[in-house]
Structure 1
Amino acid sequence: MSSETPKDQWGERLPRRLGAFSAIAVLVGSTIGSGIFRSPAVVAQDIDTLAPFVLAWVLGGLVALAGALTFAELGGMFPRTGGIYVYVREAFGELPAFLFGWAELVILRPAAYGAIAVTSAEYTWRVLGHDAGRALWVVIPPGTEPDSGLVISLAQGLAALFIIVVGIVNFRGIRLGAIIQNVSTALKVAAILGLVGLGLALVPDALPPITELPTRPDRAPEPGTLGAFGLAMVAVLWAYDGWSDVGFVGGEIKDPARNIPRAFIGGTALVVGLYLLIDMVYLRVVPLDQMPGRPLIAADVAEALIGPIGAVLVAGAVAISTFGTLNGSMMTGPRVFFAMAEDDLFFRSLARVHPKHGTPGGAILLSIVLGVVFVSFQGFAELADQFVIGIWPFYALSVAAVLVLRRRQPELERPYRTWGYPWVPLAFLLAAMYLLGNYAIRETGKFALDIGIVLSGVPVFWLWRRRRAKKGHAR
């Protein structure tokens, strides 16, 4: 592999091979994954009445749109590989940008890979007629009781295999990854529209009631309260997450001044519309008080509409959908490590571009290892919460970057200017403050752990700065 690939006019070494459709498919395909097929059950644990449940999904969509409108300006200004890393670096400097990359390394990207891959694996096992929770492998450390060992389930084992497969695909070239992304995105949109059509046209059969609903944590606020609504929004925003991902491959998009803003705005608007439609169908078929007991709700709804074959078909569609989302996440995530290495803030080997495939091969291999490790130790809910709370401080910084750069560098070329400026960015920042503040109050221990892990990157940053200075590469 060689790191001497020539740079283009934006200072980018990776080849620009993604057109407008592929850019939109990256965003839509990265967003529509495990969340919309699982999060309604999680949301219903905290919201037990109809109006607030619907409001949560509407507000989540508006927040995602506000973020996309703002990121569209940043993406047009900085069509570089790295997305949020680049936006934060340009506005606030290297330390907060490095902390984002550090968070991606130790929390965000592995948690995302794990949550998405586990969902894809669970639906795959449902299609095959097997219990995804059955033990595949049990590791019992010496000197411990047999029931205290680490249990790797069938779902976790298959999820690890999926991570390896999409990693190999993306290692071999972004064109191959883009083909999978385009096809899987088209299939998942068609599946959602098909389920929506069936749900609005047919009278569903009654689903058998669930008598043993999931228990809520002792410290959880009562359903229907403002605190409970805030916790539910974590699951909603997990479902909407992905609206920022196209920025990570900004350095590989053709005609970026036009295509990046279009992908951010058009792709996010499409996702919001699809989510609100499918939530209508869920509510038509499944009583809200029964949702918490149906983690694979899409398959249950299809079974109520057209019988057991519907459950199998939808389970297969969801498995493909989430596999496509995993592919999109593997396509975008390693670009952050590549961008950090370009700045000499990470191992230089990760900045090498494969001479044949034109991909950041080392960064992709690192992502595979991290994903497999995380998926082996945690379940869906823990992974999703870790991701949302870890990423949102950096979403807030990126949106604030638009405000900062408008004042500090008004002369910079902006192919697109945020609609509704400054109110749209400010509304997003208020939503971020509410989300993070509420989670910090309600889940203090988890919040402190996540923030502590992010801040542990501060001494690592200074070590890398010192190492870079010794090599004579100080910026």
Structure 2
Amino acid sequence: MASYNLMNITPKLTRFDLSMIVISLVIGMGIFATPGEVAKNSGNTLLYFAAWLFGGFVSWCGALTFAEIGARYPTTGGFYKVFSYCFHPAFAFMINWVLVISNAASVAAVALIGAEYINPVIMPVSLQNAMGIKIMTITSVLVLYIINFIGIKMSARTQNVLTMFKIGMILILCFAVFKGNIHTAYMEMASESSNNLSAFGISLVAVFFTYGGYQQTINFGGDIINPKVNIPKAIFWGMIVVISLYMLMNFTYYSVLGINGLQHKTTLAATLAGVLFGTSGYKIVSLLMFISVMAFINVNIMANPRVYYAMADDGILPARFKHVNQKTQVQEFGLSFFVAAVLIILFFVSSFHKILDYVMFFDTIGLSTAAVTIFILRKKNKHLDAKGIYTISWYPVIPIIFIATYWFVTISIFIENPKAALVCLCAFAIGLIIYFITKKSKPPITIP
């Protein structure tokens, strides 16, 4: 009979494990799809690369900010707990209940991208349609659900293998372009944008979707060995790897397809491989893309139930969400709940583009307000400064750059798609109502 522990999670993940988690949280399938969205929204080469460079810099600022937050407040479900500790449990729930849905939507969106790659390669002609894509996405999510149910170390080992595989695949694609086999059929000039500031703001929506995910690392505070040292180092080096790979990948796309080719292609990596290696290359890379999408789905299935744990610890969710199998360190009910949310979204949404604005409006508000906690933690946890805790070198400039930029993107989404913004704001308000309806007596929040 399974053994359960309602309170404690035993640290089992190393710095290397966490570094691989950081890379996989960020490198989903976005880099293999969103460059097309960025090219369409920017309208020209200069704005295209400016968006990726600026997005990388701002994301680096965000990564440093969350590295210090994670070091100052290392706990399971840290993304929820830090709101609760610095602001109020009601605000923490309002932000996080929506982000849990948003994260499930992100997993669904990435799963759809992966299925779009693999569907034409392995599915019969009769299933090379929306139904076939849904079958493939649901199957891949269920396979990883089973793997994660076995145990967190099994999940971490799977994650390490998939992440190393993905990094290797990206490097092979990028370095193949130096053979000199540069295609020019797509090199026509793209249309110039009439409003560069607006185009830049909307371009950043897809860019930040592609760079996002590192903030979820702080959810593993209770799983990491020596978290006050390993969390900031894993986030820092993980993001250095991510930004380098993204810029290399974008240079490769542009060198082979041009800005116009980027605007008119969806399966970018497979198209790139087709140009470089021919028809067989297209099929092989489509298969590899599908395998790599598993890494992003897997790491989110690992991370998100930890937020449920934190909510249950505050008495907001039922105690069942805190149930941890002592042997496997798996929240079996929380894990099942998150996977069920992903599957429900997949039944109702069939397009990556339809998900993007909603996900990013949630994320920009959630991440920017989470970053504000660094100012509060610095005041509340001054005693940690003398204990060798990680601190940002250019404080407060670094977090201010991150926060201000994310609010610029939030406003850009509101102007471009007010319907999505209003729906998201209503979802936040509903979360606040749910909190006050369901709140129970909560234990005092203490620094771990």
TM norm structure 1: 0.88
Offset at residue 412 of structure 1 (A): 3.9
Which one has a larger percent helix, Structure 1 or Structure 2? Answer: 2
Match of 1:228 in 2: 199
1:53 aligns with 2:48: yes
Match of 1:440 in 2: 414
Residue identity opposite 1:393 in structure 2: I
Offset at residue 133 of structure 1 (A): 7.5
Offset at residue 355 of structure 1 (A): 3.3
Offset at residue 410 of structure 1 (A): 2.0
Match of 2:102 in 1: 108
RMSD (Å) for aligned C-alpha atoms: 2.3
Separation in 2, partners of 1:34, 1:133: 22
| CA displacement, residues 91-150 of structure 1 (integer Å, 9 cap, x when unaligned) | 112112111221134x31220120111112222223326569845xxxxxxxxxxxxxxx
Task: State whether residues 71 and 390 of structure 2, in contact with CA within 8 Å, keep that contact through their aligned partners in structure 1.
Answer: yes
Offset at residue 330 of structure 1 (A): 0.8
Query: What's the secondary structure of 1:419's corresponding residue?
Result: coil
Number of residues paired by the alignment? 440
Match of 2:66 in 1: 71
Separation in 1, partners of 2:429, 2:305: 21
Separation in 1, partners of 2:144, 2:373: 33
Separation in 1, partners of 2:98, 2:55: 23
1:125 aligns with 2:96: no
Separation in 2, partners of 1:130, 1:26: 34
Task: State whether residues 123 and 132 of structure 2, in contact with CA within 8 Å, keep that contact through their aligned partners in structure 1.
Answer: no
Offset at residue 20 of structure 1 (A): 1.1
Match of 2:231 in 1: 260
Match of 1:144 in 2: none
Listed as ranges, the matches of 1:392-431 within 5 Å are 392-412=364-384, 415-431=389-405
Task: State whether residues 186 and 260 of structure 2, in contact with CA within 8 Å, keep that contact through their aligned partners in structure 1.
Answer: no
Match of 1:457 in 2: 431
Separation in 2, partners of 1:131, 1:79: 50
| CA displacement, residues 278-307 of structure 1 (integer Å, 9 cap, x when unaligned) | 100100011212322211111111111111
Listed as ranges, the matches of 1:310-325 within 5 Å are 310-325=281-296
Offset at residue 208 of structure 1 (A): 7.1
Match of 1:187 in 2: 165
Offset at residue 202 of structure 1 (A): 2.8
Listed as ranges, the matches of 1:334-373 within 5 Å are 334-373=305-344
Aligned counterpart in structure 2 of residue 154 of structure 1, from 128, 132, 138:
132
> Structure 1: where are the runs of 5+ without partners?
8-12, 136-151
Task: State whether residues 85 and 101 of structure 1, in contact with CA within 8 Å, keep that contact through their aligned partners in structure 2.
Answer: yes
Match of 2:356 in 1: 384
The 1:206–1:419 alpha-carbon spacing in structure 2 relative to 1, beyond 3 Å, is same
Residue identity opposite 1:323 in structure 2: M
| CA displacement, residues 145-181 of structure 1 (integer Å, 9 cap, x when unaligned) | xxxxxxx521112111212221221122111111111
Query: What's the secondary structure of 1:244's corresponding residue?
Result: helix
Separation in 2, partners of 1:132, 1:110: 29
Task: State whether residues 32 and 240 of structure 1, in contact with CA within 8 Å, keep that contact through their aligned partners in structure 2.
Answer: yes
Task: State whether residues 167 and 330 of structure 1, in contact with CA within 8 Å, keep that contact through their aligned partners in structure 2.
Answer: yes
TM norm structure 2: 0.93
Task: State whether residues 32 and 321 of structure 1, in contact with CA within 8 Å, keep that contact through their aligned partners in structure 2.
Answer: no
Residue identity opposite 1:44 in structure 2: A
Offset at residue 416 of structure 1 (A): 0.4
Separation in 2, partners of 1:50, 1:2: 57
Task: State whether residues 47 and 223 of structure 1, in contact with CA within 8 Å, keep that contact through their aligned partners in structure 2.
Answer: no
Separation in 2, partners of 1:276, 1:422: 27
Separation in 2, partners of 1:18, 1:165: 22
Aligned counterpart in structure 2 of residue 39 of structure 1, from 34, 39, 44:
34
Aligned counterpart in structure 2 of residue 18 of structure 1, from 13, 18, 22:
13
1:284 aligns with 2:255: yes
Residue identity opposite 1:450 in structure 2: C
Task: State whether residues 184 and 258 of structure 2, in contact with CA within 8 Å, keep that contact through their aligned partners in structure 1.
Answer: no
Separation in 1, partners of 2:340, 2:382: 42
Task: State whether residues 26 and 245 of structure 1, in contact with CA within 8 Å, keep that contact through their aligned partners in structure 2.
Answer: no
The 1:224–1:300 alpha-carbon spacing in structure 2 relative to 1, beyond 3 Å, is farther
> What percent identity do the matched residue pairs reach?
26
The 1:430–1:131 alpha-carbon spacing in structure 2 relative to 1, beyond 3 Å, is farther
Residue identity opposite 2:118 in structure 1: T
Task: State whether residues 202 and 305 of structure 1, in contact with CA within 8 Å, keep that contact through their aligned partners in structure 2.
Answer: no
Task: State whether residues 157 and 376 of structure 1, in contact with CA within 8 Å, keep that contact through their aligned partners in structure 2.
Answer: no
> Structure 2: where are the runs of 5+ without partners?
none
Query: What's the secondary structure of 1:287's corresponding residue?
Result: helix
Residue identity opposite 1:401 in structure 2: T
The 1:412–1:96 alpha-carbon spacing in structure 2 relative to 1, beyond 3 Å, is farther
Offset at residue 237 of structure 1 (A): 0.7
Aligned counterpart in structure 2 of residue 96 of structure 1, from 79, 91, 96:
91
Query: What's the secondary structure of 2:38's corresponding residue?
Result: helix
Task: State whether residues 50 and 288 of structure 1, in contact with CA within 8 Å, keep that contact through their aligned partners in structure 2.
Answer: yes
Match of 1:10 in 2: none
Separation in 2, partners of 1:132, 1:21: 44
Separation in 1, partners of 2:293, 2:152: 19
Query: What's the secondary structure of 1:189's corresponding residue?
Result: helix
Match of 1:248 in 2: 219
